[in-house]
Structure 1
Amino acid sequence: MASAIHKRGVPLTSVLAFFLVLLLSGCEWELFNLGDGKDGDDDELDPVTSQVTGLELGVSDVYMSVPIYRHGLDMRIVSDVTTENSRRVTLESPGSSLQATLTLIEYTDGLGRNLQDNPGKIVFFTPDTEALANKFANAGGNLTRPPEERPGVGMVGFGRDPDNNLIEIAETDDVSLITLGAVGIGASDLDAARDFYRDQVGLTEKQFIETGSYDEYIMGTPEGRRSLSLVLTQWTDDVERRYQGNETSVRLISEDPEEVIDRTFSEDDDQTQDPDGNRLIIDEEPADLSIPDSDD
């Protein structure tokens, strides 16, 4: 063997060194991959189902905002709480079958906050957009676009509350009363936000909408279960938006809240949150989110 190798001009010591390198490299490679799951299964998350139940939103003056939501959008107060550093008013749509609340928070801790650039929106469903638009305007809301027919969408109008939060008024035959139907947050990376709320939180992608001003994913629960929708919006109208640092929180319930909390907890910020820093408030009590019987 040695003579054959020498005849080819390759020293035996070089061959041994070569095999030693291969052996060490193989060991090092095994050590590097120690603990990897079989066929990459560890990267796959077990499916979990969650549901959005509300939105918390910072406002500059709760006394100025609440009347517009009460008298202009037919909401009612379910709680009014004063804490050491805030006043929190929670509202809901009376008669709605959805578990859906909107909490307006006025901070009294003296910290400067920008509450005027929230890129999300609040969506109300109504059987009559024209009547609701007039009601909203008469209560002091800023009606920026009167209801009009939009292809593929239906009758939709837009307005602004005192803190410039976007209010969408959408007509549908599915409701007989004015109903809070969806809450929206802005997303700096729309697909990443969709993946986060689908894979980490456990929402279902319901629809993708592309317009000349914005793109959005509508997230909810599986077909057959009615619930408040979460709208993830990215604006495409060349107007700079502040997607991070907004005083918004999304309220959730889940079949497995402990798992969702673990998946979404940020060690850096010591809270559950999404990629843009919107806080997630997750009820720790497991919820029954099975599809109800059709006659319920």
Structure 2
Amino acid sequence: MQPNAFTNDLFTSASTRSDGARRLAGRTLCLVLATLLTGCEWEIFTDDKDGNSSRVDVTSRLTGAEIGVSSLAESLPIYTDGLGMEVVTEIETSAVRQVILAAPDSPFSAQLTLTQFMDGVGRNVTDNPGKLVFYAPDASAYAMAFQNAGGNLTLPPTPQGEFGIVGFGRDPDNNLIEMVQSSEAEGPYFAAFGIGVSNLEAARDFYQDMVGLEEILFLEIPERYDEYIMGTTEDATLPLVLMNWTDGSNRRYQGNETSVRLATTDPELLAEQTTPRGENFPQDLDGNRLLIRSQPLVLEDAD
């Protein structure tokens, strides 16, 4: 599988914008607006008149994601029997029960953690505005397995023009599941993680400038949502999809029990750059947690 197969298979002919046009809006303004929305005191990294940035570069890779679920007993069979993932390990404390999953045929490292909270604190895990994308050799058979395992199949896989054969469903907590047919997939696998963001441009700048992911592609899904696909073109890794809904619906972009797992060249620096003043953990502009691996990411030599 090519490093950017996620974009090649599904989104080759989607609407895109040029780099220059996107950046004319001004990154600092986007981050300031997001600061006002979230109430967090972020340190804003700006460019001086000579174009020199006050931030320090890091390079990161997305290695997995976490979502909250109401019941592992209901959700786990859908992700294992239905979507083909396997249990890597289970963790239980007085506060949480977690099951970490991975797909055996994934072309890259990508773990999905399902978390059921046991601490009695009221949490809303049913309004996540993001999505989970899965690839499979046969989307129709995959969707049937998903439905048989208890998933809600909202749109059976059908040809979607240049987007290929795509189907959609919902898990018991209403998380959007996107199922894409891929001729390159050896088996089903977790292919991308999407999070809803209140300010798309600010979120793109945050994950690019402060986290160290690359912008791969911008997409407009008419009357549905706009999204940036973030990741890397250097090697095959799990993409992060930033989504802002344009269908007129009210989405809850903050207060979601979603986290992204990251490996980075400088874990301490990334944690410092992404922890707002007064907060105790790294997070993005909408409060999604950033779970940073303590071991530094070692990039392969370009040669």
TM-score (norm: length of structure 1)? 0.83
Per mean C-alpha deviation after superposition, the further-off stretch among 99-108 and 143-152 is 143-152
Q: Which amino acid aligns with 1:139?
A: A
Q: CA deviation at 1:224?
A: 3.5
Check 1:284–1:138 CA distance in 2 against 1; reply closer, same or farther (3 A cut): same
CA deviation after TM superposition for structure 1 residue 45, in Å: 3.1
Alignment of 1:144-293 (within 5 A): 144-212=154-222, 213-221=224-232, 223-290=233-300
Rounded Cα–Cα distance in structure 2 between residues aligned with 1:181 and 1:77: 17
Give the count of matched residue pairs.
257
Separation in structure 1 between the aligned mates of residue 296 and residue 63 of structure 2, nearest angstrom = 14
Local SS of the residue matching 1:265: coil
User: Conserved in 1, the CA contact under 8 Å of 2:47 and 2:54?
Assistant: no
Match status 1:138 vs 2:165? no
Match of 2:111 in 1: 101
Partner Cα distance (1:38, 1:47) in 2 = 16
Offset, 1:97: 2.6
From 37, 47, 53, give the equivalent of 1:43: 53
Q: Report deviation, 1:290.
A: 2.7
Shift of residue 42, structure 1, vs aligned partner: 5.5
Partner amino acid for 2:81?
H
What SS class does the counterpart of residue 297 from structure 2 fall into?
A: coil
Counterpart amino acid of 2:73? Y
Contact preservation (8 Å) 2:194, 2:243: yes
CA pair 203-118 structure 1, distance change in 2 beyond 3 A: same
Letter of the 1:258 counterpart:
E
Q: Kindly provide the amino acid, as one letter, of the partner of residue 229 in structure 2.
A: I
The 8 Å contact of residues 50 and 289 in structure 1, kept in 2 or not, is answered as no
Identity over aligned pairs, percent: 50
- Tell me the amino acid that sits aligned with residue 255 of structure 2: G
Moved more, 275-284 or 143-152: 143-152
Deviates more, 1:283-292 or 1:102-111: 283-292
Matches of 1:104 and 1:162, distance apart in 2: 12
Partner SS for 1:268: coil
Which amino acid is the alignment partner of residue 288 of structure 1? V
Partner residue, 2:27: none
Q: Between the two structures, name the one with larger relative contact order (CA 8 Å, sep ≥ 6).
A: 2
SS of 1:43's partner is: coil
- Is the partner of 1:169 in helix, strand or coil? strand
My pick for the range that moved more, 37-46 or 259-268, is: 37-46
Aligned to 1:4: none
User: SS state of the match for residue 162, structure 2?
Assistant: coil
**More divergent stretch after superposition (117-126 vs 40-49):** 40-49
Q: TM-score, normalised by structure 2?
A: 0.81
Quick one: structure 1 residues 39 and 208, their matched pair in 2 at CA, closer, same or farther if it must change by over 3 Å?
A: closer
CA contact (8 A) 2:128 2:253 kept: yes
Structure number, greater radius of gyration: 1
Which sections of structure 1, spanning at least 5 residues, go unmatched?
A: 1-35
CA pair 38-210 structure 1, distance change in 2 beyond 3 A: closer
Question: What are the ranges of 5 or more consecutive residues in structure 2 without an aligned counterpart?
Answer: 1-45
Amino acid at match of 2:228: Y
Residue 109 and residue 149 in structure 1: after superposition, are their counterparts in 2 closer, same or farther (change >3 A)?
Answer: same
- Once the two structures are superposed, residues 53-75 of structure 1 have per-residue CA deviations (whole angstroms, 9 ceiling, x without a partner) of 11111100011100110000010
